[in-house]
Chain A
């Protein structure tokens, strides 16, 4: 059993940012990441909204932070068990690591909605239907193309896939996909100026700084079209394109459109690790997201002393929100550890 001051679970932006801030405060931090690679979902990002910052810059900054002397990073270390032992927390991993520490930070993040559950959208059935994550990867390598390698003539983005959907049991809004669709459509137009881009939405939610401006810009400068209506069905056409059907709820008429790529803006759900550890420790809340003791005044603390939360294990958050939350968590933990040594 190895001792540490804090065990941080999850090597994504929240975990790294918090670990770094704790390390700067002279705490010995163990950072465990279940994958081979760190960065979590930041791994696949191309650019970040709303300022189109290159995600690789964020990745190198995060990587740099993990190099701090007070941080020991373990990869391929999926956490299997978190338990309370006297005044300490014990964290065990799948690869046999076993830590004991007065404080644990859960930064186990989110997973994206499995689009196969919405079979009517044809994901996993028709090659032209892809997720926003896969589209981001296409942008990254600069190759937006259909399954048979052709340049798409028309791309549709569909918002709220797996969010705000009674049928899949997720009533909540994932908060980031509207603005992300704006970003993706602009990036698509940057790479393929002739492509037609359509975005199907229920409501456009542009609540962050500069979001509304970007939404406007996408229409004025990039010719992105917005249609209020949820795509209900996807079917192949005789020439292997995709026909999407929906009701245009502004004009109240049924609408059919043929597209080459349908990009599903998949929503945010609690990751498996978040759900499992939350269950073990007893901090599971709605939809398996973890629950802090007070949303307004103690959002990093849980009902268990020494067990803290940061980032999207609590709810859907944007990258800046996640980073700020991680720094707040580090501060809370620092105060907690100091209170112990007094």
Chain B
């Protein structure tokens, strides 16, 4: 038989196995999508979103643009391996088809092309294609060299930590290390015998003694084929499963699937899409400020995938979102972790059963909900009252005397049912007031209102609200040259994308920048989401963050979350204020304080 040799069998069997397992897994995951996710797929599969997804697959799964942006060397490593290999297969396929004169040549021909195409049989563009193949091989080998260096010394690639391996990873990785050097050697040996190589394989071929070449040729091709077999068989059970899975993830994400509350096929797809690049380890304060190195997202994802999750890994997380923000694959890491926290069964005790009903007040424009945490920082409440008064707002302080928690802290601990109970209680009070706007001082409540509630009015965090009052001239501030640094609270910044509003307010002061602005903001350490973090470590995280934020010795460290404020005040390094306090403290008092709100002014509302 032409273009056949038994050594192609391991490759062919391995490839068939790989395709079988991968497609079976894809099928199972897609079947396990939840109703909403399936609906989104049906809605969007025939839309431009699919085209957008293909573009993204090219950029992220092949070129790895995101990794490249974060760390060029690491990006190059991923790109050379993924994109290089991809092109090698495509160009190899083209070359084989041209050579065989049919598109349906045997699948292994492109892979072992040089072994079979030794007859000097010319076909169109063969020179150029041979050069390309050698060039691609060189690129891949350079990426491989970086991968080996990363294993040996990760700091050389600008990374503090590299990930640990499972058994399948090790098998897949070792075979991956062999594949390309073996291919180089096999092709070079054939080239030394037949002169059919390119610039690389011919040159290497010259170095192989002609006495050895005839004996080495076949064993090298066998070895190459076997290494491919091993890699293909190990792949579905190793980290390299992320290569095919990421493609599916990108499609689903573009079609609008969201992580949801309960585990689903989409969770599995996310878990399998992690490339274990380790970028999330470097992003995590538990790692670099508190020295904990076994709970980061990469470990969580790995353990969740292999079903070896411990409670510690699930629960020891600030849910700060720094890792999701950095993850080049765009995994919704905190949401997935939350799914694993959610309790399936409803434990006996329901909290807040004893809460007395709060009577809702009609005829107000604005409802102010301070939130439990804000009740622990009364200066914020006093400041908000001052601001409402100064702007002449007709408001109702909903939880002034008694109130019900927004429910988010319970939700973050996984008590979904109890949390929903509170949501119902609060919704009833808020909706029946028929007001125009709900303002809260706590980012945790804010996120909760936005995401978990079905309210008949818009919600604003007080940063947004105060910014609006200033923009509309309903309050004005005295000029101040106090230097301030702004700390983005996790839930308000990464959690709700409120970045510009506080900065616009603080431009009335002398605003200076820290090294941790916006998406890159640090967690204050006081997160309610981590109920098991040791106090001493929590304080380490706080002190590190505080040190960074106060490096330039600002007069005031301003934040917009009662919890952050409390954490930082105890750190005792700088004057700490909530944004409402610094605003209230600098209000220009206008003589006609109490005047009815004009209609045009209500647009803010």
Contact = CB atoms under 8 A, between A and B. Distances in A.
Interface of A: 116-117, 119-120, 122, 125-126, 166-169, 232-235, 243, 253-254
B376 A168 contact: no
B378 A120 contact: yes
28 contacts: A116-B569, A117-B569, A119-B376, A119-B378, A119-B379, A119-B565, A120-B376, A120-B378, A122-B378, A125-B378, A125-B379, A125-B382, A126-B378, A166-B535, A167-B566, A168-B570, A169-B535, A169-B539, A169-B570, A232-B376, A233-B375, A233-B376, A235-B375, A235-B378, A235-B400, A243-B401, A253-B354, A254-B354
A101 B400 CA distance: 61
A122 B382 CA distance: 11
B377 interface: yes
Nearest to B565: A119
Interface in B567-597: 569-570
A122 B375 CA distance: 10
A190 B379 CA distance: 35
A234 B378 contact: yes
A117 B570 contact: yes
Given A119-B566, A243-B401, 7 more contacts: A117-B569, A117-B570, A119-B377, A119-B565, A126-B378, A167-B570, A169-B535
Nearest to A126: B378
Interface residues of B, number: 16
Contacts of B376: 119-120, 232-233
Contacts of A168: 570
Contacts of A232: 376
B124 to A, nearest CB: 76
Contacts of B566: 119, 167
Q: Which 8 A-B pairs have the closest CB atoms?
A: A120-B376, A119-B377, A233-B375, A125-B378, A117-B570, A122-B378, A166-B535, A125-B379
A67 B539 CA distance: 46
A120 B375 contact: yes
A244 to B, nearest CB: 12
Contacts of A116: 569
Contacts of B569: 116-117, 119
Given A166-B535, A169-B570, A120 B354 contact: no
A265 to B, nearest CB: 19
Contacts of A167: 566, 570
Interface string B375-419: 111110110000000000000000011000000000000000000
A233 B354 CA distance: 18
Contacts of B378: 119-120, 122, 125-126, 234-235
Contacts of B400: 235
Contacts of B539: 169
A158 B156 CA distance: 56
Contacts of A120: 375-378
A167 B570 CA distance: 9
A167 B569 CA distance: 12
A220 B566 CA distance: 40
A254 B355 CA distance: 9
A339 B565 CA distance: 55
A287 B569 CA distance: 18
